[in-house]
């Protein structure tokens, strides 16, 4: 294996030090390292973060390879500083059997850019009627621990209860897309002043909050683990804060776009801003930032949702919901959370690596940057300034709301168990994972 000497990187909570990577492991850290390595990297001014872990990625394969493949999605992940992503189950076919989750897991191994942990569907075909083979997916080679019907809400309370009870047996977690379906029929954007002015169907905050309130009560009742996907409203934050104060086993994530953008952008009628849950108000953004800073919200998760141009370059009402996010997440978090003084880089490592790895029970990820640990590592340049150019994305899709926008920071290098997947901001060609 190639060895790397990373010189003078900024370590979290300490002075600049050098990091030696040999045989996939962080073998030395210090100020006066004399070791020789195959590759020398000048990391002056770069922050060394643990490899990022995404709890919420849509890789689209199998079935929508025109939008993304496991290969292009994991390349996008590596460029964004990720070493592990959870692949959502709303593929074609749906990842609701051991066979499909194993297929996604194998495609991840073959890509070599990033670990792919498949998420299993909660219900057969995401139809919300009948529990999928949760145990078989857990027992498969993919070792599924996170289950979600994401894209759809498990709205039947009895099915949700059974799922929560079932996953307890193997320390699994149900990740809920909280959207009361009847309250969001025909919804096109956040329900509020802007939707009223534009005459677009509203997606009210209460449709998210009602499901979260029910689910935290269910999770407490059966003593199981609940994870709330893409929290988007101030009211949801209050419910989660209450549930955590009760000591219930509830975790939550927020997307980068809900930390930065508001429904005012919908006035442009540009479908690039159409997403589910929708962009909310400035008050919601403020509450989400505060909750991420104080730990009420555990993690940033991208909800990377690639769509081909024909599904986005159309009128608002007909456009697909979702945004790509893997390649801009860390920069958006720097802008929204670090440059505003709300979160330190230690906090970023906690919310984007340590905690998501713990929620997904990924033992090899979210580890500290210290000697003896697997070398899952990002070198990030927070001083870099540049505008977002979607044509440079590794993702197969270009539906980013940040096109042409100046965002701070850039991933300089990413290492997956000591193998460089990105160097000097560019992908390094990979073979199959050993």
Tell me which residues touch Zn ion (CB under 5 A). 150, 177
Q: Least distance to Zn ion from the beta carbon of 56, Å?
A: 7
Select 7 or 56, whichever has its Cβ closest to Zn ion: 56
CB of residue 58 vs Zn ion: minimum separation in angstroms? 9
Length of the chain in terms of residues written: 434
| Contact predicate 128/155, CB 8 Å | yes
What are the backbone angles phi and psi of residue 290, rounded to the nearest 5°? -60, -40
The CA distance from 49 to 61, in Å, is 29
Place of tokens 């997606």: 203
150 or 253, CB closer to Zn ion? 150
Distance of CA 120 to the CA centre of its chain: 16
Q: Are 416 and 376 in contact (CB under 8 A)?
A: yes
Looking at the Cβ atoms of 150 and 284, the one nearer to Zn ion is 150
Phi-psi region of 366 (alpha: psi -120 to 50; beta: other; left: phi over 0): left
In the three-class reduction of DSSP (H, G, I as helix; E, B as strand; rest coil), residue 304 is classed as strand
Catalytic residue among 215, 303, 311, 350: 303
Least distance CB 153 / Zn ion (angstroms):
8
Decide whether 301 or 416 has the Cβ nearer to Zn ion: 301
Q: Which is nearer to Zn ion, 292 or 379 (CB)?
A: 292
DSSP 357-382: HHHHT-TTSS--S-TTSB--EEEEEE
Active site residue 350: no
Select from 358, 400, 271 the least CA-distant residue to 84. 358
Question: In this chain, which residue has its C-beta nearest to Zn ion?
Answer: 177
Tell me the closest approach of the beta carbon of residue 150 to Zn ion, in angstroms.
4
Active site residues: 303
């Amino acid at each position: 294996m190639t060895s790397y000497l990373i010189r003078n990187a900024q370590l979290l909570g300490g002075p600049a030090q050098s990091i030696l990577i040999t045989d996939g492991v962080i073998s030395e850290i210090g100020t006066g390292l004399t070791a020789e390595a195959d590759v020398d990297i000048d990391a002056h001014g770069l922050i060394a973060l643990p490899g990022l872990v995404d709890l919420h990625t849509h890789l689209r394969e199998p079935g929508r390879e025109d939008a993304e493949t496991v290969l292009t999605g994991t390349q996008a992940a590596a460029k964004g500083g990720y070493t592990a992503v959870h692949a959502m189950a709303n593929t074609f076919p749906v990842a609701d059997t051991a066979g499909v989750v194993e297929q996604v897991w194998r495609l991840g191994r073959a890509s070599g850019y990033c670990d792919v942990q498949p998420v299993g569907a909660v219900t057969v075909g995401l139809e919300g009627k009948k529990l999928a083979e949760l145990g078989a997916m857990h027992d498969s080679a993919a070792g599924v621990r996170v289950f979600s019907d994401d894209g759809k809400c498990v709205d039947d309370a009895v099915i949700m209860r059974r799922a929560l009870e079932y996953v307890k047996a193997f320390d699994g977690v149900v990740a809920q897309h909280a959207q009361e379906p009847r309250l969001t029929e025909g919804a096109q954007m956040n329900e509020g002043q802007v939707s009223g002015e534009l005459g677009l169907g509203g997606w009210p905050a209460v449709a998210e909050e009602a499901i979260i309130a029910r689910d935290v009560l269910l999770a407490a009742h059966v003593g199981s683990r609940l994870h709330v996907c893409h929290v988007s409203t101030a009211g949801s934050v209050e419910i989660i804060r209450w549930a955590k104060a009760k000591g219930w086993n509830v975790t939550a994530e927020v997307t980068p776009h809900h930390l930065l953008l508001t429904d005012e952008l919908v006035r442009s009628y540009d479908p690039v801003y159409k997403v589910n849950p929708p962009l909310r108000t400035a008050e919601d953004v403020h509450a989400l930032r505060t909750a991420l800073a104080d730990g009420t919200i555990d993690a940033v998760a991208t909800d990377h949702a690639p769509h081909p141009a024909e599904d986005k370059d159309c009128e608002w009402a007909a456009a697909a919901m979702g945004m790509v996010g893997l390649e801009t997440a860390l920069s958006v978090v720097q802008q929204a959370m670090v440059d505003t003084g709300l979160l330190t880089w230690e906090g970023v490592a906690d919310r984007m690596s340590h905690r998501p790895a713990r929620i997904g029970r990924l033992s090899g990820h979210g580890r500290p940057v210290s000697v003896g640990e697997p070398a899952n590592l990002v070198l990030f340049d927070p001083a870099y300034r540049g505008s977002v150019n979607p044509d440079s994305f590794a993702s197969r899709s270009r539906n980013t709301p940040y096109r042409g926008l100046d965002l701070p920071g850039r991933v300089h290098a990413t290492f997956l168990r000591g193998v460089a997947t990105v160097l000097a901001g560019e992908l390094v060609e990979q073979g199959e994972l050993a």
